[in-house]
Amino acid sequence: MSTNSQAKTQLSASITLLLAAACGIIVANLYYAQPLVELIRSSIGLSAGAAGLIVTLTQIGYGLGLLFIVPLGDILENRRLIVTSLTLAVAALIMTALAGNAAIFLIASFLIGLGSVSAQILVPFAAHLAPEATRGRAVGNVMSGLLLGIMLARPVASLVTDLLGWQAIFWISAGFILILMLVLAKLLPHRQPTASIAYRSLLSSMRKLAVHTPILRRRALYHACVFAAFSLFWTTVPMILNSRFHLSQTGIAIYALVGVFGAIASPIAGRIADRGWVKAGTAAALALVIVSLLLSVIVQGSSILSLLVLVVAAVLLDMGVSANLVLGQRSIFSLGDELRSRLNGIYMATFFLGGAVGSAVGGWAYAHGGWSLACWIGVAFPCAALLYFMTERKQAH
């Protein structure tokens, strides 16, 4: 199964579904703690000033994993690498659920992020298994699962915590990841990369790829701006839903679930990319993000109509983000089989940084200028991406 022709026969509908579900289940671990920060902080004895570390350390672990673990997919047998990463994730989740003090919890949070990068080994794995003609569709289908995981994690964590306490979501996730690890070990095809390169040289090559690969650089920066807007919106919208519309945690969770419908854009974007319409699709995706945030700006008062406008804005935002992500990955995965894990690591790390900036700026803007200021800043991010996109030469894709 090590050759391309042999491997590609393995991308059946069932394997595609498995990879999509796996990505969603894994990446959700990054977001479970976000709506539970105050509960966790008081339970483990962490000061209010240090509460942000609960989420930040998981993000740091994930970012480091993108840069130092994901590239290994270009030189190590992929199935073994994925299973090893998931083993770390299971141990970290159990450690989190059992943590009796802040130090242990924070170490475990970092390790959750590190172990969860296996999702970003699975995405180029899917691209490798798919033939060129349907690669965009395959990536889109798998990414729809990943995006569902991102969007569902927070509401699911809130609902589970209401019923069983905050530790329960980490126990449940550990169980799911353990089952997933066993299933992937059994069903994933073997994939041994042909590249023979030392780890140090592998890391060094990533800097060269970032500097000398225009498509990678552009797609990463487009999506960094888009993901900054996405993170800003989802960081601040629970505040306005609570303060202006008086929604409970359960109500906010239901609102977040509605936004999940935006994930339908992923497989559509994959098909658009397969037809060679990446540029038109990118323009449409960026426009959707801009429109969604402009709709959010006009929300005034606390009427049902205003709430419905926010619902539409959330769906359009998630559609634009989903589509742009898949279009970007389809573009960079066309650069070569032997580079995909490194390209994906750079791509994901760049836009993940954009998301961190969006979250931080969103919290600051809401505190200093309210919902309106936060949304206008949110609009600025995709507008910057659109302006940069307009400088793209026809041959970039």
Question: In which band, very low, low, confident or very high, does the pLDDT at 10 lie, cut at 50, 70 and 90?
Answer: low
Higher pLDDT, 383 or 211: 383
Look at residue 396 and tell me whether its pLDDT is greater than 70: no
At 316 the pLDDT is: 94
- Tell me the percentage of the chain whose pLDDT exceeds 70: 96
* Sequence-ordered alpha helix ranges (H) in the chain: 4-8, 13-27, 37-44, 53-68, 78-98, 102-115, 119-129, 135-164, 166-187, 199-212, 214-243, 249-259, 265-274, 278-297, 304-333, 340-389
Task: Report the half-sphere exposure of 371 (CA within 13 A, side-chain side).
Answer: 21
Query: 265-293: per-residue pLDDT in tens?
Result: 878 888 888 888 999 999 999 999 999 99
CATH topology of domain 1-196: Growth Hormone; Chain: A; (1.20.1250)
Cβ proximity of 252 and 158 under 8 Å: yes
The length of the chain in residues reads 397
Same fold, 1-196 and 202-397: yes
At 394 the pLDDT is: 55
Cβ proximity of 90 and 38 under 8 Å: no
Question: In which band, very low, low, confident or very high, does the pLDDT at 180 lie, cut at 50, 70 and 90?
Answer: very high
Residue type, 352: F
User: How much is the mean pLDDT over the chain?
Assistant: 87
Query: 34-77: per-residue pLDDT in tens?
Result: 778 778 888 999 887 777 788 878 888 998 999 899 999 988 99
Write down the CATH superfamily of domain 202-397: MFS general substrate transporter like domains (1.20.1250.20)
Question: 356 is written with which tokens?
Answer: 């961190």
Q: Distance between CA 110 and CA 262 in Å, rounded?
A: 29
Q: Distance between CA 382 and CA 365 in Å, rounded?
A: 17
Question: Domain segments of the chain: what residues?
Answer: 1-196, 202-397
Question: 187 is written with which tokens?
Answer: 């069903």
